Amino acid sequence: MSDTSYGFIGLGNMGAPMCANLCAAGILPTVFDVAGSAQRAPGGAVVADSLADVAAQDTVFLSLPDGKVVAAVCADILAAPDRRVSTVVDFSTTGPAAAGEINAALAAGGITFVDAPVSGGRAGAIAGTVTVIASGPDDAVAALAEPFDAVSENIFHVGQTPGQGQVVKLLNNFLSATAMAATSEAVRFGLGHGVAMETILDVVNVSTGRNTASADKFPNWVATEIFNAGFAMALMTKDVALYFDEVRKAGAPDDIGAAMTTLWNAADTAMPGADFTEIYKYVGAKGDGA
């Protein structure tokens, strides 16, 4: 166990279980959440009275809703009177542009930034099996081996520049969103011809159409009518929009990105507060002429 002290800011759907896994591994961070640190803190964590208490730790992890929140929190860290932080590690999905700006701001204050978005959803966060997609200096990423091992079974160092992790995370979420939308449409087509959903999934999942939606989201959350995978439609819509924006900036092919952005924006507008698996309901309502 290293002598490094750790902080954790953001104890939401992803942050709370990831922080709990750190605690289970004997890494006991000082934690803060604007919605209530004591109420959300996992057992073993040290509850901070303020964000400044977290800024007094060596390495601080962030798990926050978007790039604007991450930037604001990093500004507060930089302004903390007794700041000790040498490394900030961001598990959030912010997009590469925001990550680059955050990196520049932290670097100006002498803080190393590791961009480390995660994939695997709340279930993966609880199980300690999320994929960590890190980008940043070799030595900084290597120093995070112990905490990364506590939250992840698959750790990738995809590049030296913060923001490269965001690129891989966004393209991954775009593929996940596309699979969910396409599978919803395909299953509706099959149902319309009298084929049972279970039968459709059984065939697809041993055939070339198998994907993350058919193999996981549909059996666990759609076919069961639970629709609670723990990832909000608004967040998936945000990620798809971030992906599309970055693709357009890069001048890369964007036809499918454009179609997915339109679909997810429309679904999120029609179904505020929905889980992202409820795109199936939206696709079905469109098919019913709604």
Residues designated as active site: 169
CB 90 within 8 A of CB 115: yes
Contact 135, 102 (CB under 8 A): no
Exposure string (b/e) for 226-247, b if CB count within 10 Å is 16 or more?
Answer: ebebbbbbbbbbbbbbbbbbbb
- Of 35, 28, 29, nearest to 13 by C-alpha is 35
Closest CA to 9 of 118, 98, 89: 89
Q: Residue 290, exposed/middle/buried by CB under 10 A (0-12, 13-18, 19+)?
A: exposed
Report the alpha-carbon distance of residue 231 to residue 121 in Å, rounded: 7
Nearest alpha-carbon partner for 189 in 289, 259, 283: 283
The C-alpha atoms of residue 93 and residue 111 are separated, in whole angstroms, by 20
